[in-house]
Amino acid sequence: MRPTVKILAARSRSLCRKFAYALAAILLSSVCGFAAEIPEIASQLSETEIFEGESVEFLVEIRNIKNPAAPDLSEFETDFDVVSNGDESRNQSSTFIVNGRVSQQNSFSHLFRYRLTPKHNGELTVPPPMATIDGKTYKGRPLTLTVQAPEEQDLVIPEISVDRTRVYPTQPFEVKLRVFVRPLPDAPQRDPLSVLRRQPPKIEVNWVDLPTGLVGEEKVAWLQQHLADDGAGFALNDVTLRGGLFLEGPRTA
């Protein structure tokens, strides 16, 4: 009986060694599968060429980090006014089963949205966004934005007025925008914007989103009053309300 006991013991040791090797291989595979990837910063502009006074959407995506802090855009202050338009997590986790083996794949990404308004015209360089992760600074790549000076014209004339020039703290005041459009030469009684329903002109109003220190009526509420029911009007900033356009009514200059 002793030889049998010895053989079983030897087999047990062999099986244990094989199990240990297999376990080590699995652990090694798991470690390799979850090895941290190098953080990356990608950025994109919604437009590469705009007119002075217009804004452009700027997207910054930080990859391979689960919950990154917002990027550093302090270098933008020289040439741009920067407004945050929110952010969203794009983290994903997938589980795969192949031949009975289970593996998991994770991808980490966070998207930050901004609105950039150039302070002057010209060929501007959008600085690279920066982020400090685990004590190390990572940079995106710089982008180029062409900002054209407004052309001299008399077809469309905007007019901004206020009902008072001096106010006290908490005292309300009203800002009014009127847009005058030259009539159509062959149809002076027709709304000149009606021919542009398919591709309406866009107007940028930088105080639609109130600056810091001012409080006003809820944006959606007061913009709702100016929706163009006939489909002829202006696209205002990047605002979408019922898919409508704004500032309908007589527009003659």
**In the chain, where the domains are located:** 1-35, 40-148, 153-253
Q: pLDDT tens, 100-135? A: 888 777 889 999 999 999 999 999 999 999 999 999
Supply the mean pLDDT for the chain: 80
List the structure tokens of 167: 């106010």
pLDDT at 27 over 50: no
- pLDDT at position 238 is 67
Q: pLDDT tens, 133-181? A: 999 999 999 999 999 998 888 888 888 899 999 999 999 999 888 889 9
Banded model confidence at residue 36, pLDDT cuts 50, 70, 90:
low
- pLDDT at position 43 is 97
Q: Please state, in angstroms and rounded to a whole number, the distance separating the CA atoms of residues 171 and 188.
A: 42
Which residues are CB-contacts of 137 (< 8 A; sequence separation ≥ 6)? 130, 131
pLDDT at 250 over 50: no
Q: Please state, in angstroms and rounded to a whole number, the distance separating the CA atoms of residues 143 and 128.
A: 7
Beta bridge pairs of residue 234: 246
Banded model confidence at residue 6, pLDDT cuts 50, 70, 90:
very low
- pLDDT at position 94 is 79
pTM beyond 0.85, yes or no: no
pLDDT at 23 over 70: no
Q: Among 129, 31, 122, which Cα is nearest to 76's?
A: 129
- pLDDT at position 1 is 40
- pLDDT at position 231 is 75
Q: Please state, in angstroms and rounded to a whole number, the distance separating the CA atoms of residues 17 and 23.
A: 10
Write down how long the chain is: 253
- pLDDT at position 247 is 46
- pLDDT at position 210 is 77
Domain 40-148 sits in CATH 2.40.30: no
Q: pLDDT tens, 215-241? A: 888 777 877 787 877 778 888 876 665
